[in-house]
Structure 1
Amino acid sequence: MADDSAHSDILNVTAQTQLKSIIERIERLELEKSEIAEQIKEVFAEAKGNGFDVKVLRKVVRLRKQDRAKRQEEEAILDLYLSALGEI
């Protein structure tokens, strides 16, 4: 079985440096992502404290991300299906 020094020969120094840089950037971004997720959680808690329905707010945010035409098409199909089921 090969020892650890054999593994370090697989990547040259430049590739090792680049790999380390990439990993450190990913780790930094993951940390930023968790911090942002915590801030979003706090905003939703604030909204809830002000009497807003968080479930509906999440849906509004999701819908606003969609293309308007695509959203309207999905809503039309949803209305069609609900109508066919006698729900509306």
Structure 2
Amino acid sequence: MAEGNVAADQLRLFIERIERLEEEKKGIADDIKDVYAEAKANGYDTKTMRAIVRLRKMETHARQEADALMETYRNALGLA
């Protein structure tokens, strides 16, 4: 019976930690949203900024492969 209580306590602690982290994540997401709004108010294109952020997260070789594939598709569609 004591093991059941220990497991329940441990589970409760995990859940509480997850809930705290979810709150922090929401706060960070709100901060990011605010930065994009500020950038937009200063005349920056936030769609392009989001694309740049995604590109910067990528490994160099993955980004180069994606660029090469995009160029191939542009050429195939006459968009080059």
TM-score in terms of structure 1 length: 0.85
Structure of larger gyration radius: 1
Q: What amino acid does structure 1 have at the position aligned with 2:57?
A: K
Aligned match of 2:25: 33
Cα offset, 1:81, TM superposition: 1.3
RMSD (CA atoms):
1.1
Structure 2 runs not aligned, ≥5 long? none
* 3-state SS of 2:40 partner: helix
The total of aligned residue pairs comes to: 79
Q: Distance in 2 between matches of 1:14 and 1:62?
A: 43
- Select the structure that is richer in helix: 2
Structure 1 runs not aligned, ≥5 long? 1-8
Identity of aligned residues (%): 51
TM-score in terms of structure 2 length: 0.93
Aligned match of 2:58: 66
Q: What amino acid does structure 1 have at the position aligned with 2:63?
A: R
> Which portions of structure 1, spanning 4 or more consecutive aligned residues, are displaced by more than 4 angstroms?
none
